[in-house]
Amino acid sequence: MIPGTDVVLVDGGVDISQKPIWIEAPHMYKKDGKYYLMCAEGGTGDWHSEVIFISDSPKGPFVPAPNNPILTQRYFPADRKDKIDWAGHADLVEGKMVSIMRYF
C-alpha cells in the first residue's frame, strides 16, 4: 500500500436500501479484462452470503453483479436436512472444465 492512496472500493454493500450488514474479506480477481471484487456480506448471522462487484479498473468504480448473492443459505427452509448456516468467505478457482466466472 502506498500512503495517501487509499481508495474506498465498496461502501456499504450490494444494496444499501436493504441495510446490509458488514461487507468484508474482499478478494480481487482479473478475468478477460474485468476486475471482480468478491466479498462476504451479511455479518455472522443467517443472512450471511458471498457477493461479487465488477469494474473495468482495479480502483473502481465497482458495481454489484446481477446475480448476487452468489453463495448463501438464506433462502432455504430453516428446518432443512443437513443444514449449513453462514455461507460466505469463499474463493474461486478455475479448472480445466468449468469456470465459475462465466456466470457473471
Residues 63/10/40/3 CA torsion (nearest 10 deg): 140
Q: Which three cell numbers stand for residue 91?
A: 474463493
pLDDT band (50, 70, 90) for residue 30: very high
Provide the whole-model pTM.
0.78
Q: Is residue 53 a contact partner of residue 32, using CB atoms and an 8 Å limit?
A: no
| pLDDT recorded at residue 32 | 93
Set of cell numbers at residue 85: 448456516
Q: What is the DSSP code string of 33-70?
A: TEEEEEEEESTTSTT-EEEEEEESSTT---EE-TT--S
Band (pLDDT 50/70/90 cuts) for residue 66 is very high
